[in-house]
Amino acid sequence: MAVITGLDQLLDDIDRGRALAGSRVGLVCNPASVDGRLRHATDRFVSSARVTLGALFGPQHGFRSDLQDNMIESAHVEDRRRKVPIYSLYSETREPTREMLEGLDVLVVDLQDVGTRIYTFVYTMANCLRAAAKHGLKVVVCDRPNPIGGLAMEGAVLQPGYTSFVGQFPIPMRHGMTIAELARLFNEEYRIGAALDVVPMRGWTRDQYFDDTALPWVMPSPNIPTLDSAIVYPGTVLFEGTIISEGRGTTRPFEIIGAPWIDGDRFAGAMNARALPGVFFRPNVFEPTFQKHARETCGGCQLHVLDRQAFQPVKTAVAMIEEFRREVPSQFAWKEPPYEYEYEKTPIDIMWGSDRLRKTIDAGLTADEIADGWKAEVTAFEEVRKPYLLY
């Protein structure tokens, strides 16, 4: 049975007159906000006689996801075809302003998350909840699958003092929740207090990956082109906090990792010798077209996940960082600020949610020892999240 998304459920209710009748709607979306037949949410709302589309809001990379690199702001523009403003929530503001919300009755959020704490779409949603609470609007969050499943959780939990636009709440790196479940968690557990309705999916189970759902895959953002990218992303996104290329500027971002001073055969051999579960490291040589080491020949590897259930993306990436540092210690370095609107703290610290990863790697701890340090945090979070699960 195909999964029915929250968007499809909501649109069906609107068509039948059971939801949002007469409302003027602000829609928070991007190109992945499609129904089960690949029709975009915007066009479905425009064609409805029961609601009025009043404004569009785009997350990081823009409403059209046309800005491929990270940390590039998008502008506020007019949608000429649909005759509504498009407001950027990755601009001088990450939270809708009173002026943007003027005349709206409800914000509908339909964004495809990828199951990783630092993916900014869930914080765009959280900021919409905050704005709605301040200005008296209702928020409707349409649920979509966590593409890497809703069972496994992994990685450190964000610690006080390390909040940022890539981490606002104490959740693990791989959180195992859907976007509507996170909306409930953020709104209730962390007391945002918006008037929130969530529209669950029909037919999704926690053990399903995206390709189990029969839903069409549309890139959530430009550097998550495939489900394979999303599967490794909870770990390999950490390379954004180093001077090692995370594969931006290649056709396989977050799967291809390396640097100009690395011998790919030696590195892949060292990683395979670790016998990490569910993954094979294939030696690779690549040349990024933009971002780190653009137009330079890099050595490294491509991660091939052979067993999703066994694969541990965060522990795997920590082991890779450990090995990159060991291979050529004089070349390895942590990236310097700024990163995602944080201008003082080291990028890897706000990504990890504390300074512990940086300090433990620099002190020579192994990936096994570092992974042991997050187990109790994940166990505690599992209890916190239980009341907010929908499936």
Give yes or no: residues 150 and 205 share one domain.
yes
Report yes or no: 44 and 30 within 8 Å, Cβ to Cβ.
Answer: no
> Which of 196, 218, 240 represents a domain boundary (last residue)?
218
**Residues whose CB is less than 8 angstroms from the CB of residue 2 and which lie 6 or more positions away in sequence, other chains included:** 36, 203, 213, 214, 215
Give yes or no: residues 231 and 358 share one domain.
yes
Specify which residues 373 forms β-bridges with: none
Question: What is residue 215's DSSP assignment?
Answer: P
Give yes or no: residues 209 and 293 share one domain.
no
The first and second tokens of residue 21, run together, are 């009748």
Give the Cα-Cα-Cα angle 4, 8, 11 (nearest 5 degrees).
155
- How much is the pLDDT for 335? 98
Average pLDDT per block of 10 residues along the chain, 391 residues long: 94 94 97 97 95 97 87 91 94 97 98 98 98 98 98 98 98 98 98 98 98 97 97 98 98 98 98 98 97 97 98 98 97 97 97 98 96 97 98 98
Identity of the residue numbered 46: V
Instruction: Note whether residue 205 is domain-resident.
Output: yes
- How much is the pLDDT for 70? 77
Say which CATH number the domain at 168 has.
3.40.50.12170
Report yes or no: 56 and 85 within 8 Å, Cβ to Cβ.
Answer: yes
Instruction: Note whether residue 385 is domain-resident.
Output: no
Helix (H) or strand (E) holding 25: strand 24-28
Strands in 256-259's sheet, in edge-to-edge order, are 256-259, 298-305, 279-286
Give yes or no: residues 188 and 74 share one domain.
yes
- How much is the pLDDT for 283? 98
Task: Encode 37-74: b = buried (16+ Cβ within 10 Å), e = exposed.
Answer: eeebbbebbbebebbbbbbbbbbbbbbebebbebeeeb
Give yes or no: residues 214 and 260 share one domain.
no
Helix 227-236 with 313-327: angle, nearest 10 deg: 60
Rg (CA), the chain: 21
- Exposed, middle or buried by CB within 10 Å (0-12, 13-18, 19+), for 364? exposed
- Residue showing tokens 């966590």: 146
- How much is the pLDDT for 166? 97
- How much is the pLDDT for 71? 79
pTM exceeding 0.85 = yes
Report yes or no: 154 and 234 within 8 Å, Cβ to Cβ.
Answer: yes
Nearest Cα residue to 211 out of 278, 314, 311, 308: 308
Instruction: Note whether residue 386 is domain-resident.
Output: no
Instruction: Note whether residue 287 is domain-resident.
Output: yes
Helix (H) or strand (E) holding 84: strand 84-88
Give yes or no: residues 106 and 77 share one domain.
yes
Instruction: Note whether residue 383 is domain-resident.
Output: no
Nearest Cα residue to 358 out of 137, 284, 101, 350: 350
Give yes or no: residues 48 and 166 share one domain.
yes
Give yes or no: residues 235 and 122 share one domain.
no
- Could you tell me whether strands 24-28 and 106-109 are parallel, antiparallel, or unpaired per DSSP bridges? parallel
Question: What is residue 332's DSSP assignment?
Answer: -
Residue 105 is part of which domain span? 6-218
Instruction: Note whether residue 390 is domain-resident.
Output: no
Give yes or no: residues 146 and 195 share one domain.
yes
In angstroms, the CA 182 to CA 86 distance is 25
Number of folded domains in the chain? 2
- How much is the pLDDT for 144? 98
Give yes or no: residues 151 and 181 share one domain.
yes
> Which of 218, 250, 277 represents a domain boundary (last residue)?
218
Give yes or no: residues 43 and 93 share one domain.
yes
Say which CATH number the domain at 348 has.
3.90.1150.140
In angstroms, the CA 108 to CA 138 distance is 9
Distances in whole angstroms, Cα of residue 366 to Cα of each of 19, 279, 374, 377: 53, 18, 13, 19
Give yes or no: residues 18 and 163 share one domain.
yes
Instruction: Note whether residue 309 is domain-resident.
Output: yes
> Which of 172, 192, 218 represents a domain boundary (last residue)?
218
Instruction: Note whether residue 73 is domain-resident.
Output: yes
